[in-house]
Amino acid sequence: MPYKVSGLRSWNMNAESFESVVRFYRDALGAEETTRHQVAGADVVRLKIGRTGLGVFDAKGGPRPGVPHHTFDFEGPRDPNVMVQELEAKGVKVENVRMHGSGPGYSVYCYDPSGNRIELSTDPA
């Protein structure tokens, strides 16, 4: 089954002024704060605007590796190796693959021609 990108899942950013950026999206734009946690030692706030997630990464100590990156949902192969082959056949260099827990969901990471990090994510039923 060839893959098909079906929508934007999340938009992620580094924020040197972490709490003021969180307040802007939450209080001024009406985003719903869903969770706070850490990724690779950085504080992260997850918000929701409609169906799209927004990840704000604390960058007081400098930008976090791999952020910002943007996540798109896709429908496609259940086998991540098949997805990698499809992308590489189109000239896309895959950086890595991450399984969601024990699967079957997974994410494939790559870069667009301008160097923006992209996550393609699927959670098949």
- pLDDT for 48 equals 97
Q: 3-state class of 51 per DSSP? A: coil
Q: Please report, for the domain that includes residue 81, its CATH number.
A: 3.10.180.10
Q: What pLDDT score does 1 carry?
A: 63
Q: What is the pLDDT of residue 67?
A: 81
* Longest distance between any two alpha carbons in the chain, whole Å: 44
Task: Give how many domains the chain has, as a whole number.
Answer: 1
Residue range of the domain that includes 51: 4-122
54-108 pLDDT per residue, tens: 999 999 988 877 788 899 999 999 999 999 999 999 999 999 999 999 989 999 9
User: Across all residues in the chain, what is the average pLDDT?
Assistant: 93
Neighbours of 52 (CB within 10 A): 14
